[in-house]
Structure 1
């Protein structure tokens, strides 16, 4: 397979800033077909990125030339769109969180297994150079075993990032977002901890609330805008996690890993994205790449990894089962 045509379902901000430009830059992708219920939105992206539009989702399913699909729909339809795409013979890159419940995510994994197609989930933090370098350090055991960790992900909220720049955003709606900031930002960091530590979070104690955000009618939003959790992994590591839509200053996307012989600080410093501090006082600074933020859109590497898995028939870098294990932790956080 030398080149592929891809479809994108849902033409909001995640498509405009991440999926579409990264497919357009990928040498193996020769056409993007956009579908959105709002035809003006899909046409605008087709004009911007040099693709074409599908007038209906059935047109996209029934096009034998479309090999793969990005599911960029809102959370509550992932299990329907991704499962249908797989059963129609398409490989799928699904946005996170995988689904609004573990039960629905399991339906998607069943569809993937029965179809024999690839399912990858957009947990993009695995692809950042600082996180990959930190994983190398942890795996090498040069700093000894990991004991504890803390991780944060917060910014000013999706109403500043979404396509309409409005408090009417679907992220604030219980029936569409389901999990609020936990599913928007938190699930990224759950996946990251699983990846970095080669471990799994098994015990969760959590506080959450809608502390500040208001919807378009001036009422408190129906989902959480802040979550603070205490976590324990299968291998006995202890950690804390904070996720927020109310960090009204610069974005925080930092993680600290405390080992027996030193500390790894990831995305604490704008210049040195990874700082290694050893027990005996040595400091090693890595200048790798800035973290992608809503204000600084850079290539995530996710699209390239997805296309590479299709072209070279490899297992995707983030499988449905990986995403399911993160979703199980997310459900515990929301209990």
Structure 2
């Protein structure tokens, strides 16, 4: 066997080993099971991109229930974050507890270099968010925020059409999110307990669904902060949500545009949709896969195009595939994209101003 052949064989083996190493699943820990979005990671198909190595949940009854449902062993369930990290050494964690606990998760994980993905919104308050941001930057970890609408291909199509001047210069965006309310849609008791708690969730519908619009609008505006925030909240279901608002309207103003964000627990039909208005027409992202464009024709006439948008390509079609790709440096986050820390710090600034506006009944100016 020639030396040249042996060298070539050696290169093939080394390359194969490197590829194999790169394809090792990301070791992920789950912190908390009380947020029912956790079913998204527990029940997902095994794509080989992540491996759940540990779960933190002190509520043993809840953990056992989900263990039976999703077939994970109780041996990987721990009572504390520290114990889970010490025993399983995750590379990243996903937070599915209360929004108030997000800071605690980052405080425990960032100093150990463990990356974090939290469910929306980033934090329970702007004060918590600033502490989380400081820790993430100090310890050089990724701190991502997961929104359902981040994985909607219709939103990306709408963004692309707007940036390509399909409807002219942007003037107005209307974003509507929500459902009938947590109790009415039947969320489990563990989730309902904190979702309707002003401390653990930071508020009601204004936090739970107002954050979607703030996130999308910050992305559309490429990180530009609004000039002002005006908000009103109401409690239309006191029997179901006695301690928090269940109806919210947030108005954002920019130099040449404005946004109306309607986050509500009073919609008769659940929705997550967006309307973008330019000088020459409008874009309607009606749901995850359907989009319409209307180009103005005369006073009230229009020509309409309809689109059926296919799913996003992997790994941008799934939050946990996306997390693995970001941690593995297969994806570089763009400035102010939907999951980014930069975007979600502005979201928290908007939500903080919205809460102050609703409480004081006045418009809040944003410092640039």
TM-score for both structures, normalised by structure 2: 0.79
Matched with 2:237 is 212
Deviation digits for residues 58-103 of structure 1, max 9, x if unmatched?
Answer: 2212135311100111011111112211222211101122112212
For the residue of structure 2 that corresponds to 1:176, the secondary structure is coil
Matched position secondary structure for 1:253: strand
Which residue of structure 1 lines up, in the alignment, with residue 77 of structure 2? 54
- Show the counterpart of 1:21: 43
Partners of 1:32 and 1:163 lie apart in 2 by 25
Compared with structure 1, are the counterparts of its residues 189 and 32 closer, same or farther at alpha carbon in structure 2 (3 Å cutoff)? farther
For 1:293, the equivalent position in structure 2 comes to none
Is 1:236 the counterpart of 2:256 in the alignment? yes
Choose which of 351, 354, 358 in structure 2 pairs with 1:330: 351
1:14 positional shift? 2.9
- In the alignment, the residues of structure 2 paired with residue 200 and residue 227 of structure 1 have an alpha-carbon distance, to the nearest angstrom, of 20
* Residue number in structure 2 paired with 1:31: 52
Of 173, 176, 179 in structure 2, the residue corresponding to residue 152 of structure 1 is 176
Q: Secondary structure at the match of 2:199?
A: helix
In structure 2, distance between residues paired with 1:260 and 1:56: 56
Aligned-partner SS, 2:292: strand
1:273 aligns with 2:293: no
**Counterpart in 1 of 2:32?**
10
Change beyond 3 A, Cα 1:138–1:51: same
**Secondary structure of 2:124's match?**
coil
Cα–Cα, structure 1 residues 210 and 145, in superposed 2: closer, same or farther, change >3 Å? same
Q: Higher Cα Rg: structure 1 or 2?
A: 2
Q: Distance in 2 between matches of 1:56 and 1:35?
A: 6
Provide the rounded CA distance (Å) in 2 between the counterparts of 1:16 and 1:322: 23
In structure 2, the CA distance between the partners of 1:11 and 1:300, relative to structure 1 (3 Å rule), is: farther
Separation of aligned partners in 1, 2:33 and 2:205: 21
Determine the structure 2 residue equivalent to 1:195.
219
Distance 1:27 1:259, change over 3 A: same
**Pair 82,285 (structure 1): closer, same or farther in 2 beyond 3 Å:** same
Q: CA deviation at 1:325?
A: 0.4
Partner of 1:125: 149
What stretches of structure 2 of length at least 5 have no aligned partner?
Answer: 1-21, 357-368
Task: State the distance in 1 between where 2:71 and 2:140 align.
Answer: 31
Contact persistence 1:32–1:51 (CA under 8 A):
no
Match of 1:305 in 2: 322
Q: What is the Cα deviation at residue 256 of structure 1? A: 0.9
C-alpha separation in 1, matches of 2:65 and 2:296: 54
Match of 2:360 in 1: none
Show the 5 A alignment for 1:37-116: 37-52=58-73, 53-57=76-80, 58-63=82-87, 65-116=89-140
The answer to whether residue 295 in structure 2 is matched with residue 255 in structure 1 is: no
For residue 48 of structure 2, give the secondary structure of its aligned residue in structure 1: coil
Aligned alpha-carbon RMSD (Å): 2.4
CA distance 1:201–1:143, shift in 2 (3 Å): same
Task: Tell me which stretches of 4 or more aligned residues in structure 1 moved more than 6 Å.
Answer: none
CA contact (8 A) 1:202 1:329 kept: no
Contact 1:9–1:72 (Cα < 8 Å) also in 2? yes
Query: Residues 244-279 of structure 1: CA distance to partner in whole angstroms, max 9, x if unpaired?
Result: 1112x21122211110111001116x9x71101112
Contact map agreement 2:167 2:283 (CA 8 A) in 1:
no
Distance 2:179 2:203 in 1: 16
* 1:169 aligned counterpart, secondary structure: helix
Measured in 2, the distance between the counterparts of 1:68 and 1:136 equals 31
Is the contact between residue 149 and residue 238 of structure 1 (CA under 8 Å) also seen in structure 2?
yes
